[in-house]
Structure 1
Amino acid sequence: MTTPLTSRFPYAKGPDGSRRLGYGADYNPEQWTREVWEEDVRLMREAGVNVVSLAIFSWARLQPTADTWDFGWLDEVMDLLHAGGIGVDLATATASPPPWLTTAHPEILPVTASGETVWPGARQHWRPTSPVFRAHALRLVREMATRYAGHPALVAWHVNNELGCHNIHDYSDDAARAFRAWLRARYTTLDGLNHAWGTAFWSQRYSDWEQLLPPRLAASHPNPTQQLDFKRFSSHALKEYLCAERDVLREITPDVPVTTNFMVMGGTKGMDYADWAGSGAVDFVANDHYVVPGPQDRDELSFSANLTSALADHRPWFLMEHSTSAVNWQPVNLAKRPGDLARDSLLHVAHGADAVCFFQWRQSAAGAEKYHSAMVPHAGPDSEVFRAAAGLGRTLSVLAPVAGTVREPARVAVLFDWESWWASEQDSHPTSLLDYRQEALDWYSALLAVGVRADIITTRTGLETYDVVIAPVLHMVPATLAKDLTRYAEGGGHLVTTYFSGVVDENDHIWLGGHPGALRELLGIRVEEFGPLLGDDSADLDNSTTGTVWTDRITVTEPDVRVLARYRTGAYAGRPAVTRRTTGSGSATYVSTRLGRAGLASLLPELLTAAGVESELPEAARGRVELAVRRSADARFLFLVNRTDAPVPLPGVRGEVLTGDVGTEGELVLPPREIAVLRRPLTT
Structure 2
Amino acid sequence: MISTLQSRMLRGADGDPAPRLAYGADYNPEQWPRDVWEEDVRLMQEAGVTVVSVGIFSWARIQPGPDTWDFGWLDEVMDLLHAGGIGVDLATATASPPPWLTTAHPEILPVTANGETLWPGARQHWRPTSPVFREHALRLVREIATRYQDHPALVAWHVSNELGCHNVYDFSDDAARAFRLWLRARYGTLDALNHAWGTAFWSQRYSDWEQILPPRLAASHPNPTQQLDFKRFSSDALKDHLIAEREILKEITPGIPVTTNFMVMGNTKGMNYPDWADEIDFVSNDHYVHPGPQDRDELSFSANLTSGIAAGRPWFLMEHSTSAVNWQPVNVAKRPGDLARDALLHVAHGADAVCYFQWRQSAAGAEKYHSAMVPHAGRDSDVFRAVAELGATLKALAPVAGSERETASVGILYDWESWWASEQDSHPTSLLDYRQEALDWYSALLALGVRADLVTTRADLSRHRVLIAPVLHVVPAGLAKELTCYAEQGGHLVTTYFSGIVDENDHVWLGGYPGALRDLLGIRIEEFGPLLAGESVELDDSAAGTLWTDRITVTDADTQVLAHYRTGVHTGRPAITRRPTGAGSASYVSTRLGVDGLRALLPRLLEPAGVSSELPADVRGAVELTVRRGDGERFLFLVNRTDATVPVSGLAGDVLTGGTPGTDGALVLGPREVAVLRQPAG
TM bracket, shorter-chain basis = over 0.9
The equivalent residue for 2:172 is 172
Q: Distance in 1 between matches of 2:157 and 2:619?
A: 42
The CA deviation string for residues 302-342 of structure 1, in whole angstroms up to 9 with x for no partner, is: 01001101111111101000000000000000000001000
Counterpart AA for 1:656: D
Q: Distance in 2 between matches of 1:515 and 1:109?
A: 44
Alpha-carbon spacing, 1:456–1:5, altered in 2? closer, same or farther (3 Å): farther
CA contact (8 A) 1:541 1:569 kept: yes
The CA deviation string for residues 278-325 of structure 1, in whole angstroms up to 9 with x for no partner, is: xx2111000000000111011100010011011111111010000000
Q: What's the CA shift for 1:651?
A: 2.0
Secondary structure of the corresponding residue to residue 420 of structure 2:
helix
The equivalent residue for 2:107 is 107
The equivalent residue for 2:536 is 538
The equivalent residue for 2:149 is 149
Query: Does 2:7 match 1:7?
Result: no
CA contact (8 A) 1:171 1:214 kept: yes
Q: What's the CA shift for 1:664?
A: 6.9
The equivalent residue for 1:137 is 137
Please point out which of 630, 641, 644 is paired with 2:642: 644
Give the CA RMSD over aligned residues: 1.0
Q: Distance in 1 between matches of 2:87 and 2:305?
A: 27
CA contact (8 A) 2:405 2:627 kept: yes
Query: Does 2:437 match 1:439?
Result: yes
Q: What's the CA shift for 1:6?
A: 2.7
Q: What's the CA shift for 1:648?
A: 1.5
The equivalent residue for 1:270 is 270
Q: Distance in 1 between matches of 2:666 and 2:331?
A: 39
The equivalent residue for 2:491 is 493
Q: What's the CA shift for 1:147?
A: 0.2
The equivalent residue for 2:479 is 481
Q: Distance in 1 between matches of 2:164 and 2:72?
A: 31
The equivalent residue for 1:77 is 77
The equivalent residue for 1:37 is 37
Counterpart AA for 2:181: A
Counterpart AA for 1:132: V
CA contact (8 A) 1:156 1:256 kept: yes
CA contact (8 A) 2:2 2:401 kept: no
Alignment of 1:186-205 (within 5 A): 186-205=186-205
The equivalent residue for 2:677 is 678
CA contact (8 A) 1:496 1:589 kept: yes
Q: Distance in 2 between matches of 1:661 and 1:184?
A: 59
The equivalent residue for 2:468 is 470
Q: What's the CA shift for 1:67?
A: 1.0
Q: What's the CA shift for 1:661?
A: 2.5
CA contact (8 A) 1:6 1:315 kept: no
Please point out which of 311, 315, 318 is paired with 1:317: 315
Secondary structure of the corresponding residue to residue 191 of structure 1:
helix
CA contact (8 A) 1:662 1:676 kept: no
The CA deviation string for residues 87-120 of structure 1, in whole angstroms up to 9 with x for no partner, is: 0000000000000000000000000001000000
The equivalent residue for 1:49 is 49
Secondary structure of the corresponding residue to residue 243 of structure 2:
helix
The equivalent residue for 1:301 is 299
Counterpart AA for 2:224: P
The CA deviation string for residues 413-440 of structure 1, in whole angstroms up to 9 with x for no partner, is: 0000000000000000000000000000
Q: What's the CA shift for 1:625?
A: 0.6
Q: Distance in 2 between matches of 1:102 and 1:5?
A: 42
The equivalent residue for 1:63 is 63
Which consecutive unaligned segments of at least 5 residues does structure 2 have? none
Count of residues in correspondence between the two structures: 678
Counterpart AA for 1:424: S
Secondary structure of the corresponding residue to residue 19 of structure 1:
coil
Alignment of 1:625-640 (within 5 A): 625-640=623-638
CA contact (8 A) 1:12 1:51 kept: no
Q: Distance in 1 between matches of 2:602 and 2:424?
A: 29
Alpha-carbon spacing, 1:137–1:16, altered in 2? closer, same or farther (3 Å): closer
Secondary structure of the corresponding residue to residue 157 of structure 1:
strand
Q: What's the CA shift for 1:7?
A: 2.8
Q: Distance in 1 between matches of 2:92 and 2:309?
A: 23
Alignment of 1:566-581 (within 5 A): 566-581=564-579
The equivalent residue for 1:350 is 348
CA contact (8 A) 1:638 1:679 kept: yes
CA contact (8 A) 1:563 1:576 kept: yes
Q: What's the CA shift for 1:5?
A: 8.0
Query: Does 2:290 match 1:292?
Result: yes
CA contact (8 A) 2:313 2:405 kept: yes
Counterpart AA for 1:412: V
Q: Distance in 2 between matches of 1:211 and 1:259?
A: 38
Query: Does 2:158 match 1:158?
Result: yes
CA contact (8 A) 1:259 1:284 kept: yes
CA contact (8 A) 2:537 2:568 kept: yes
Alpha-carbon spacing, 1:5–1:559, altered in 2? closer, same or farther (3 Å): farther
Query: Which portions of structure 1, spanning 4 or more consecutive aligned residues, are displaced by more than 2 angstroms?
Result: 4-7, 12-16
The CA deviation string for residues 162-182 of structure 1, in whole angstroms up to 9 with x for no partner, is: 000000000000000000000
Q: What's the CA shift for 1:645?
A: 1.0
Q: What's the CA shift for 1:650?
A: 1.1
CA contact (8 A) 1:109 1:126 kept: yes
Q: What's the CA shift for 1:662?
A: 2.6
The equivalent residue for 1:119 is 119
The equivalent residue for 2:553 is 555
CA contact (8 A) 2:2 2:402 kept: no
Q: TM-score, normalised by structure 1?
A: 0.98
CA contact (8 A) 2:647 2:662 kept: no
Q: Distance in 2 between matches of 1:269 and 1:260?
A: 16
Query: Does 2:598 match 1:600?
Result: yes
Counterpart AA for 1:667: A
Q: What's the CA shift for 1:646?
A: 1.1
Q: Distance in 1 between matches of 2:592 and 2:2?
A: 38
The CA deviation string for residues 360-385 of structure 1, in whole angstroms up to 9 with x for no partner, is: 00000000000000000000010000
The equivalent residue for 1:382 is 380
The equivalent residue for 1:226 is 226
CA contact (8 A) 1:5 1:283 kept: no
The CA deviation string for residues 544-596 of structure 1, in whole angstroms up to 9 with x for no partner, is: 11000000000000000100001111111110000000001100000000000
Q: Distance in 2 between matches of 1:408 and 1:345?
A: 19
The CA deviation string for residues 30-60 of structure 1, in whole angstroms up to 9 with x for no partner, is: 0000000000000000000000000000000
Q: Distance in 2 between matches of 1:5 and 1:518?
A: 41
Which consecutive unaligned segments of at least 5 residues does structure 1 have? none
Q: TM-score, normalised by structure 2?
A: 0.99
Q: Distance in 2 between matches of 1:348 and 1:603?
A: 28
Q: What's the CA shift for 1:133?
A: 0.2
CA contact (8 A) 1:264 1:304 kept: yes
Q: Distance in 2 between matches of 1:473 and 1:6?
A: 36
Deviates more, 1:661-670 or 1:312-321: 661-670
Q: Distance in 2 between matches of 1:664 and 1:570?
A: 52
The equivalent residue for 1:524 is 522
The equivalent residue for 1:237 is 237
Query: Does 2:405 match 1:395?
Result: no
Q: Distance in 2 between matches of 1:662 and 1:618?
A: 18
Q: What's the CA shift for 1:543?
A: 0.8
The CA deviation string for residues 182-203 of structure 1, in whole angstroms up to 9 with x for no partner, is: 0000000000000000000000
Counterpart AA for 2:539: L
Q: Distance in 1 between matches of 2:218 and 2:660?
A: 60
Secondary structure of the corresponding residue to residue 327 of structure 1:
coil
Q: What's the CA shift for 1:465?
A: 1.1
Q: What's the CA shift for 1:624?
A: 0.8
Secondary structure of the corresponding residue to residue 319 of structure 1:
strand
